Amino acid sequence: MVFKTRIGYYTGTTDGYTDAEAKQYIIDGCYDVYKKMKSIKGADVSQKFGIWSDPAITNGNAIDIDEVHEIVYVQRNGIPATEVSPNLVHKYTDTDSIHYASANDPVFYFQEQYMTVKPAPDGSNPLYYIYLPQYAVTSYDSATSSIDKFPAEYYDHVLIYSSIKILEALMHNYIEDDEDSELAQLMAGRVDRLKAQYNEMFGGGE
């Protein structure tokens, strides 16, 4: 699938937008598809869109996640950790508290751009997590078009999303510049059809 050709097919034009703009809309579409699939199928589907942290974390330092789009799943020594409130940090290490985080019931919480896991991971109890990466489009205009780390089964979803955004931007420009109203109406019809098709891909919901 050549992304550029596919978008040209959906929009009906290759003029009025740049490859860079189309690729950015594709990336935006990746996160829109993720959010929609998560709302439909629940948190478990999130792992399909994420990647594992590497290498294992074996120290108790807070983890800087400033560049991470979203944490999807956390495990310590193979045991899933539960997200908890940062307001009770003093309780997670208190063995007398009902909130105590044990080796069999680890927790994680966020403060500013950091994630902390309790009990702290170490060499015998490593920490891994799944996160949403910063997706990137490669070979946009060739037969090897792809989105790094994004599941290929949703490629058409994001290409339709990108096409919708391109057409909406073109329509806006035509209206602002008071150009061909018939062309603007034609684009509006394409947008409506693509939006309907996009929603159908998710079972017809918004």
* Residue 172 pLDDT class (50, 70, 90 cuts): confident
Residue 36, CA atoms < 13 Å, CB-side half-sphere: 19
Give the rounded percent of residues in the chain with a pLDDT score beyond 90. 84
Q: For residue range 58-73, what is the model confidence (pLDDT) as tens digits? A: 999 999 999 899 999 9
pLDDT of residue 178: 60
Q: What's the pLDDT at 176?
A: 64
Specify whether the CB–CB gap between 22 and 160 falls below 8 A.
Answer: no
Token code pair at residue 163: 């096409």
Q: Specify the pairing of strand 82-83 against strand 107-111.
A: parallel
As given in the structure block, the two tokens for residue 31 are 């996160």
Number of continuous H segments (helices) and E segments (strands) in the chain: 4, 10
End-to-end, the C-alpha distance of the chain in Å comes to 26
pLDDT at 98 over 90: yes
- Higher per-residue pLDDT: 26 or 176: 26
What pLDDT, on a 0 to 100 scale, did the predictor assign at position 183?
77
